[in-house]
Structure 1
Amino acid sequence: MTSATVTLLGAAEVSRPPAWRARLVEFLLVGGATLALFPLAWLLRRAVGLDPAELAVGFLTFHAASLINDPHFAVTYLLFYKDARRRALGGELAPVQRARYIAAGLLVPLALFAWAIAALATGSARTLGFMIQLMFFLVGWHYVKQGFGILTVLSARRGYRFSPTERRAVLAHCFAGWAYAWASPADPGREVAEKGVVYTSLAHPPGLELATGIAFGASALALLWVLARRWRAERRLPPLEPLAGFLITVWLWTVYSSLDRLMVYMIPALHSVQYLYFVWLLKRNEAREAEGPPSFGKPTALRLGVLAASAVALGWIVFRGAPAFLDTALVLGASAGETTAGLGETPYFAAIYVFVNIHHYFMDSVIWRRDNPDTRYLLHTS
């Protein structure tokens, strides 16, 4: 068999659609489950009323976070800091990518740590409130960029590639959605509480909401135009699963995330499942390659099992064990009159939660770049 034949067979394998069951599972994992959960949430609310339904969903998602949301944050640390020194200081990566590793792996956490310590040491809810607002500002960026990855990578696995113009249109829609989600609704600046921390929110004037809304609508029309042009030229559209995952991420998880009060509790878990699916693709294909010759490494199932267990354990330590210990020892055990007014009874939980979220966004933006050679495993379809 010639190398040209192998290449042609490989291309055919990439373009061959998987079994319908696998495609259905992928559709649900990358966001399609949202479409089923909306009517279920409506039925639950209709059956028992809003307050009991909200209590039940909140209880379920809080405890499910130990197996879904928290490991999704923890596994980012396991991926990012594996061989981090070699990646940041060695010659394997381009200088720009090495600089990104140093920034996300060292400079960002140092800055966040100093920020959080300053807020806790001074008992300043205002200082920690600014950190919380930075988290809320960046979370939309994180969501839409993940949606962009879902669309482009899973489409490439089906043999569908976006042109530079199409990529720019997709990214414009992502960033316009992020901007509109942050600016909406208009906010004159009000007192709010998050994780027990009481602070005054930054003002979002109505003009900003209007401008970003117009930009979001225009970007949607631009995206529709480039896809229609592709259809006219080739009679092809992006595959259903990644396209649906992308649109659900931008529209239902980012821009209109408050459409249903019960779904507000479920969207972070759905986002985490979407993320963990990509981690599974990456590490499964990497493990399969290492399992064969010449390495003959550990079985794929064992590698994935160890990674999953490590992520669950680290997630529990970061979000449950460590904050509970610190808040119990340093806040609840402190005498009255300590400088924690406005920070609530769990300021360490709030600080750690915000720190990990923001750091996760920056690490994620480095791990999943095309510059990272490990991302080649995402395109393996075997």
Structure 2
Amino acid sequence: METTGGAAAREWKWLRSREFDLGFILGIPALSFASVGLILSFPQLFWYVLAIDLWILGYHHVISTYTRLCFDRKSFAESRFLIFGLLPIVAIATLAVAAVAGVWIIVSVYFYWQWWHYTRQSWGISRAYRGKDRTALFESGRLDVAIFYAWPVLGILNRSAQDPGTFIGLPIKVIPVPQVAVTLTAVATVVLTAIWILRRLQAWRAGRLAPLHTLYMATHFLVFGAFYVAVADVTFGWLGVNIWHNAQYILFVWLFNARRFKDGIDPEARFLSYISQPGRLWLYLLTCVAITGVVYIGILGTLEAALAAGMAGTVVLYQIVNFHHYVVDSLIWKQRTAPIRTTLGLD
């Protein structure tokens, strides 16, 4: 598929295929906006939509991390510390902080860390699309970084200035941010977005537009702008960006595994390579569902019952899993490493 602009035609650099990439870039945000639109129209449905998000996407997106860590001997050998060493460290630190300061600090840390985690995942995906078309015209250096982070930074400053008091029904304390800081950041964000649009038009006229990267960046701006700024309720907005993030992660990990095993079944990773073959996305998802049941119902459910955890204890247990996932993700998806770039087919 090609698109014309200026003097030359540009090839669409798919990460996988037309159907996958357009579904990934456009379909996932559409799902997020439809979900938030539903709960804005019928607020009483929030907890039902949240439950569906957690069980269909949220828990599975955490489990997807482990397909990168321990589903084959090589990955398991390379990830022993992340599995057996890091998890106890995260658990002890989280329990200690909760015991000293209370559950509010765990919720508050989650509030800011999940924002950073979502932003960094989006950055990585944008880099993957950018890396597929290195001959296109892109911003560079600090301007590139400023354009990408403008909407996420505006979003978290806006939520901090709101000081909602509760988040997902739990107490939270935010970093004090004056409204004037939000206003100045909003002005800077509008200016940076205008620069980006002008640069995209210049690239199109020169025949050097990267259409998929441009499309992805537009959805990135839209998601953070809508769910962190336009939607007044902090929890409703969080749910929208959480659905977007979770679905992205599940599909991107499957894409990575599918590209890793594109040559067929690998004797060194027989099971993972089998469920990562074309046409077996359903089996990959079913595997994650099964593991989710073991981890979240079996292990965490047993711990909750054994400790008579209550709401505070449940929050801490689940955040231990989330925090471990955040740290692991920051380490295993660095695109500057050769294996990641080679697998994703990036220049």
TM-score when normalising by structure 2: 0.74
- What does residue 122 of structure 2 align with? 147
**CA distances 1:37-94 after superposition (whole Å, capped 9, x unpaired):** 646865x57xxx83xx3333541441343232211111113314564675479xxxxx
**CA distances 1:10-36 after superposition (whole Å, capped 9, x unpaired):** xxxx94667xx9524422323444347
**What is the alpha-carbon distance in structure 1 between the residues aligned to residue 31 and residue 95 of structure 2?**
43
Q: Give the secondary structure class of the aligned counterpart of 2:171.
A: strand
Asked if 1:274 corresponds to 2:248, the answer is yes
Asked if 1:23 corresponds to 2:18, the answer is yes
> For the structure 1 residues 68 and 235, does the alpha-carbon distance in structure 2 shift closer, same or farther, using more than 3 Å as the test?
same
Paired residues, number = 325
Q: Which is further off, 266-275 or 26-35? A: 26-35
CA contact (8 A) 1:180 1:213 kept: yes
- What does residue 45 of structure 2 align with? 56
- What does residue 317 of structure 2 align with? 352
Counting only pairs closer than 5 Å after superposition, residues 332-351 of structure 1 correspond to structure 2 as 345-351=310-316
User: Residue type of the partner of 1:70?
Assistant: Y
Asked if 1:69 corresponds to 2:58, the answer is yes
Q: Give the secondary structure class of the aligned counterpart of 1:291.
A: coil
**What is the alpha-carbon distance in structure 2 between the residues aligned to residue 161 and residue 150 of structure 1?**
18
Gaps spanning 5+ residues in structure 2: where? 1-9
- What does residue 113 of structure 1 align with? 91
- What does residue 7 of structure 1 align with? none
> For the structure 1 residues 178 and 359, does the alpha-carbon distance in structure 2 shift closer, same or farther, using more than 3 Å as the test?
farther
Q: Which is further off, 174-183 or 205-214? A: 205-214
- What does residue 169 of structure 1 align with? 143
- What does residue 227 of structure 2 align with? 257
Q: Give the secondary structure class of the aligned counterpart of 1:257.
A: helix
**What is the alpha-carbon distance in structure 2 between the residues aligned to residue 29 and residue 239 of structure 1?**
14
TM-superposed deviation, 1:216: 2.5
**CA distances 1:192-242 after superposition (whole Å, capped 9, x unpaired):** 2556x534333222233234334433432343344344334x3232224x4
> For the structure 1 residues 163 and 111, does the alpha-carbon distance in structure 2 shift closer, same or farther, using more than 3 Å as the test?
farther
- What does residue 283 of structure 1 align with? 257
User: Residue type of the partner of 1:72?
Assistant: H
**CA distances 1:292-349 after superposition (whole Å, capped 9, x unpaired):** 8x989669544566754443233334444434333333236xxxxxxxxxxxx32232
For the aligned residue pairs, the C-alpha RMSD in angstroms reads 3.9
**What is the alpha-carbon distance in structure 2 between the residues aligned to residue 272 and residue 136 of structure 1?**
16
> For the structure 1 residues 248 and 295, does the alpha-carbon distance in structure 2 shift closer, same or farther, using more than 3 Å as the test?
same
CA contact (8 A) 2:256 2:343 kept: yes
**CA distances 1:167-215 after superposition (whole Å, capped 9, x unpaired):** 65332223232322111045375642556x5343332222332343344
**What is the alpha-carbon distance in structure 1 between the residues aligned to residue 33 and residue 78 of structure 2?**
43
**What is the alpha-carbon distance in structure 1 between the residues aligned to residue 60 and residue 34 of structure 2?**
28
**What is the alpha-carbon distance in structure 1 between the residues aligned to residue 35 and residue 270 of structure 2?**
44
Q: From the CA coordinates, give the structure whose radius of gyration is larger.
A: 1
**What is the alpha-carbon distance in structure 1 between the residues aligned to residue 129 and residue 63 of structure 2?**
24
Match of 1:230 among 156, 181, 203: 203
TM-score when normalising by structure 1: 0.68
> For the structure 1 residues 237 and 168, does the alpha-carbon distance in structure 2 shift closer, same or farther, using more than 3 Å as the test?
farther
**What is the alpha-carbon distance in structure 2 between the residues aligned to residue 87 and residue 183 of structure 1?**
38
CA contact (8 A) 2:67 2:272 kept: no
> For the structure 1 residues 210 and 16, does the alpha-carbon distance in structure 2 shift closer, same or farther, using more than 3 Å as the test?
closer
